[in-house]
C-alpha cells in the first residue's frame, strides 16, 4: 500500500494580517512513516498541521493526501483520512460525555448504531480508557483527557494521524504511556513537538522547520544529534543524548 | 477545589444520574415530558392558591425516594437559588395588605398568602427540575429534547453551555488570581482593569470557539450534533406518563384537598 502519502509541494501560507508563516515547504511522507516536526516557537509547525486537513488552505503550492489534492471540494474527503489531535484536549473534547465525544466522528460518517458502539469501544480500549466512557470530560485528569482525545480521533480510523504537542501538560508517567501507545499505532504519524526525546523515541524521521521553510529533513537519530543544527533553530540536544 | 465543586456542584448532580433505579431507567423523553407537564400545571394555579398545591409535593418526593437521591443535597440547591423567588415575592405583603383570612388570634393579609404561594410554586418547580437532571443527567435531558423535536441549534447551545461553563469560569478565575497577585490595595482592582479583563476573556473565548469549531470540522461536523438512540419508549414509560397525566389532572381540576378536609370535618363534627 502506497496510497497513504502526504506531500507538500512549494506550500506557502500568508495569514490575513500579512504574516508569512510558510514560505515554500516541500516534503513527502510515505505510508506508515512516523515523522517528527520540530522547530522554534513560531516557526510554523502548527500552521503546517492545519494544512493537513484543510482548515487552512495554502496561499500557493499544493498539498496532496493520498491521491487527492487539497481543494475546498476534496476537503471533506481528506478529513476522513487525516485525524488531527490538538494540543489542548479541552478544545477537542466538546461533547458532554466521553462516549458521546468519541462517537461524534463515526456518527458524522453516517455509520449505523451498532458499528458506532463497536468503534467507540475499540478506540477507548486501545487507549485503556473504556472505564471512562460515561464520564463528562471536566471530571477527567489531563492524562485521561489526552488519551480520550486520541481515542476520539482513532474512532474515525484515519489513515494518517497528526498530533500537535501530544505530551504537553502530561506528567512523566502519562507521557511515558503515551509514547508506548504511539509506538503501537501502525498509521502514518506526524508529530509536531518540542519534546525532542519523544520524537527520538517514536519517530524514525525528523523534519526541522525554521522561519517557514524546511531546514533539515532526515533520520531522527542523525538530526537530533546534530548540536549546531539544533541550536541554530532554538532547540537543543534531547536530554537522553546530553552528557553531563 | 475546582470552580464547579465550590459553587454549583453540577458534577455531583451528574454523578447521581449514574445510579440504576427504576426512575433512572425510564426513557429520558418520558421524564422530560412529565416534568414539563408538572411545571405547567403548578404555575397554572391562581395567585392565592396554597392548599391545592400541597398534593403536588407527592411527585418530587416520589422521585427523591424511588430515585435514591439525597434530600439534603436537593434542599441545599433549592436554598442556593431561593433569593430569586424571595425577591420576587417579598413586597407582596406590603403592597397587598387586604385581609384574606382571619385565623383566631391574627389576621392574614392577601400579600402574605400570595408570597407563600410563590415560594411553594418555586420549591415545586425547582425541585422537579433538579430531580429531572439528577435522575437523567444534563446531556440525557438535552438528547431527549433533541429527539422530541427541539431545534438542533438550541440543543447544541445547551450542550456547549454545559461543557464549557466550567472551562470558562476557571479561566476567569485564573485571570482574576493573576490580577490580585500583582495589585496592591485598591490599585489594579478598579473598574478600568475589570473592563479590560472582561475584554481579554471575550477574546480568549472567541479563540477557543474557533479551535473547537476546527476540532468539530476535523471530525466531520455538518451542522447537527448527532446522537445515538439510547432508549426506546417502553410500556413502562407510557404507563408512567399516563399515570402522571391522571395525577396532574385530578389534583388540578378537582379540589381534592378541600374534599378531604370537608370529610374530616364532618367525621369529627
Contact B225 A104 (CB under 8 A): yes
pLDDT (tens digit per residue) in B151-197: 888 998 888 888 888 788 888 888 888 888 887 766 666 788 888 88
Contact B11 A152 (CB under 8 A): no
pLDDT interval class at A240 (50, 70, 90): confident
E-strand spans in A40-106?
Answer: 60-65, 68-69, 82-85
Task: Pick the closest to residue A159 from A84, A226, A83 (CA basis).
Answer: A83
Which pLDDT score, from 0 to 100, does residue B262 have? 84
Contact B212 A94 (CB under 8 A): yes
Choose the weakest-confidence range: A226-230, B24-28, B226-230: B226-230
pLDDT interval class at B25 (50, 70, 90): confident
What's the mean pLDDT in B203-212? 89
Asked if residues B41 and B252 have their Cβ atoms less than 8 Å apart, the reply is: yes
Q: In residues, how long is chain B?
A: 269
What's the mean pLDDT in B53-60? 90
What's the mean pLDDT in A47-74? 89
Which pLDDT score, from 0 to 100, does residue B60 have? 92
Separation between Cα atoms, residue B96 and residue A232, nearest integer Å:
81
And the C-alpha cell for A135?
Answer: 464520564
pLDDT interval class at A1 (50, 70, 90): very low
Contact B218 A117 (CB under 8 A): no
DSSP B54: G
Sign of CA pseudo-dihedral A121, B220, A68, A27: negative
Is B166 in the A-facing interface, judged by CB distances under 8 Å?
A: yes
Contacts of A100 in chain B (CB under 8 A): 139, 227-228
pLDDT (tens digit per residue) in B210-268: 888 888 888 888 877 777 766 678 888 889 999 999 988 888 888 777 788 888 888 88
State whether ipTM is beyond 0.90.
no
Domain ranges in chain B? 1-150+234-269, 151-230
DSSP A212: T
Asked if residues A38 and A194 have their Cβ atoms less than 8 Å apart, the reply is: yes
Separation between Cα atoms, residue A232 and residue A243, nearest integer Å:
20
pLDDT (tens digit per residue) in A19-60: 889 999 999 999 889 999 999 888 888 899 989 888 889 999
Which pLDDT score, from 0 to 100, does residue B1 have? 44
Q: What percent of chain A has pLDDT over 90?
A: 37
Q: What is the mean pLDDT of chain A?
A: 89
Higher pLDDT, B101 or B202: B202
Beta strands A6-14 and A60-65 are: antiparallel
- What is residue A37's three-state secondary structure? strand
Domains of chain A: 6-237 (3.40.50.300)
pLDDT (tens digit per residue) in A112-169: 888 999 999 999 998 888 999 888 888 888 889 988 999 999 898 888 999 998 888 7
Q: What is the mean pLDDT of chain B?
A: 85
- Closest residue in A to B14 (Cα) is A136
Most confident of A135-139, A178-182, A216-220: A216-220
Residue A220 has pLDDT above 70, yes or no: yes
Contact B212 A53 (CB under 8 A): no
Is B12 in the A-facing interface, judged by CB distances under 8 Å?
A: no
Which pLDDT score, from 0 to 100, does residue B186 have? 67
Residue A105: which of B220, B227, B229 has the nearest Cβ? B220
Residue A94: which of B138, B216, B228 has the nearest Cβ? B216
Contact B211 A116 (CB under 8 A): no
Contacts of A83 in chain B (CB under 8 A): 218
Residue A116: which of B2, B222, B228 has the nearest Cβ? B228
Backbone angles phi, psi at A10, to 5 degrees: 50, 40
Separation between Cα atoms, residue A92 and residue B206, nearest integer Å:
15
Higher pLDDT, B164 or A205: A205
- Closest residue in B to A83 (Cα) is B218
pLDDT interval class at B7 (50, 70, 90): low
Task: Pick the closest to residue A136 from A145, A128, A123, A127 (CA basis).
Answer: A145
Residue B138 has pLDDT above 80, yes or no: yes
In the A/B pair of chains, how many CB contacts fall below 8 A?
A: 84
Contact A113 B229 (CB under 8 A): yes
Contact B11 A100 (CB under 8 A): no
Which pLDDT score, from 0 to 100, does residue B4 have? 55
Amino acid at each position: 500500500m502506497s496510497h497513504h502519502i502526504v506531500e507538500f509541494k512549494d506550500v506557502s501560507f500568508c495569514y490575513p494580517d500579512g504574516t508569512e508563516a510558510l514560505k515554500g515547504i516541500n516534503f513527502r511522507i510515505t505510508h506508515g512513516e512516523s515523522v517528527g516536526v520540530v522547530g522554534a516557537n513560531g516557526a510554523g509547525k502548527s500552521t503546517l498541521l492545519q494544512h493537513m486537513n484543510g482548515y487552512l488552505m495554502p496561499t500557493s503550492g499544493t498539498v496532496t493526501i493520498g491521491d487527492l489534492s487539497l481543494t475546498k471540494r476534496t476537503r471533506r474527503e481528506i478529513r476522513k483520512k487525516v485525524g488531527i489531535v490538538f494540543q489542548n484536549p479541552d478544545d477537542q473534547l466538546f461533547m458532554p460525555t466521553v462516549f458521546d465525544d468519541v462517537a461524534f466522528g463515526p456518527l458524522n460518517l453516517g455509520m449505523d448504531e451498532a458499528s458506532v458502539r463497536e468503534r467507540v469501544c475499540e478506540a477507548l480500549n486501545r487507549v485503556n480508557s473504556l472505564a471512562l466512557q460515561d464520564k463528562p470530560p471536566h471530571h477527567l485528569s489531563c492524562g485521561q483527557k489526552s488519551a480520550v482525545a486520541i481515542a476520539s480521533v482513532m474512532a474515525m480510523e484515519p489513515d494518517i494521524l497528526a498530533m500537535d504537542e501530544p505530551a504537553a501538560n502530561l506528567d512523566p508517567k502519562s507521557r511515558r504511556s503515551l509514547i508506548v501507545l504511539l509506538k503501537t499505532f501502525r498509521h502514518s504519524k506526524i508529530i509536531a513537538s518540542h519534546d525532542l526525546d519523544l520524537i527520538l523515541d517514536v519517530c524514525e524521521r525528523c523534519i526541522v522547520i525554521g522561519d517557514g521553510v524546511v531546514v533539515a529533513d532526515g533520520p531522527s537519530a542523525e538530526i537530533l544529534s546534530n548540536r549546531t543544527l539544533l541550536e541554530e533553530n532554538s532547540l537543543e540536544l534531547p536530554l537522553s543524548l546530553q552528557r553531563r | 477545589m475546582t470552580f464547579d465543586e465550590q459553587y454549583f456542584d453540577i458534577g455531583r448532580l451528574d454523578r447521581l444520574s449514574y445510579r440504576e433505579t427504576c426512575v433512572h431507567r425510564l426513557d429520558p423523553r418520558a421524564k422530560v415530558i412529565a416534568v414539563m407537564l408538572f411545571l405547567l400545571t403548578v404555575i397554572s394555579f391562581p395567585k392565592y392558591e396554597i392548599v391545592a398545591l400541597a398534593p403536588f409535593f407527592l411527585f418530587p418526593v416520589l422521585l427523591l425516594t424511588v430515585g435514591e437521591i439525597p434530600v439534603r443535597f436537593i434542599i441545599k440547591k433549592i436554598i442556593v437559588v431561593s433569593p430569586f423567588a424571595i425577591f420576587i415575592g417579598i413586597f407582596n405583603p406590603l403592597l397587598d395588605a387586604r385581609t384574606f383570612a382571619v385565623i383566631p388570634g391574627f389576621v392574614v393579609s392577601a400579600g402574605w398568602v400570595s408570597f407563600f404561594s410563590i415560594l411553594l410554586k418555586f420549591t415545586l418547580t425547582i425541585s422537579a427540575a433538579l430531580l429531572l437532571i439528577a435522575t437523567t443527567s444534563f446531556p440525557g435531558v438535552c438528547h431527549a429534547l433533541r429527539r422530541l423535536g427541539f431545534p438542533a441549534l438550541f440543543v447544541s447551545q445547551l450542550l456547549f453551555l454545559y461543557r464549557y461553563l466550567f472551562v470558562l469560569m476557571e479561566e476567569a478565575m485564573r485571570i482574576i488570581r493573576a490580577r490580585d497577585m500583582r495589585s496592591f490595595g485598591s490599585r489594579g482592582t478598579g473598574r478600568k482593569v475589570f473592563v479590560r479583563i472582561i475584554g481579554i476573556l471575550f477574546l480568549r473565548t472567541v479563540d477557543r470557539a474557533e479551535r473547537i469549531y476546527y476540532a468539530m470540522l476535523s471530525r466531520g461536523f455538518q451542522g447537527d450534533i448527532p446522537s445515538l438512540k439510547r432508549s426506546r419508549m417502553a410500556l413502562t414509560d407510557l404507563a408512567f406518563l399516563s399515570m402522571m397525566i391522571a395525577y396532574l389532572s385530578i389534583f388540578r381540576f378537582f379540589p381534592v384537598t378541600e374534599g378531604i378536609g370537608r370529610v374530616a370535618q364532618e367525621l369529627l363534627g
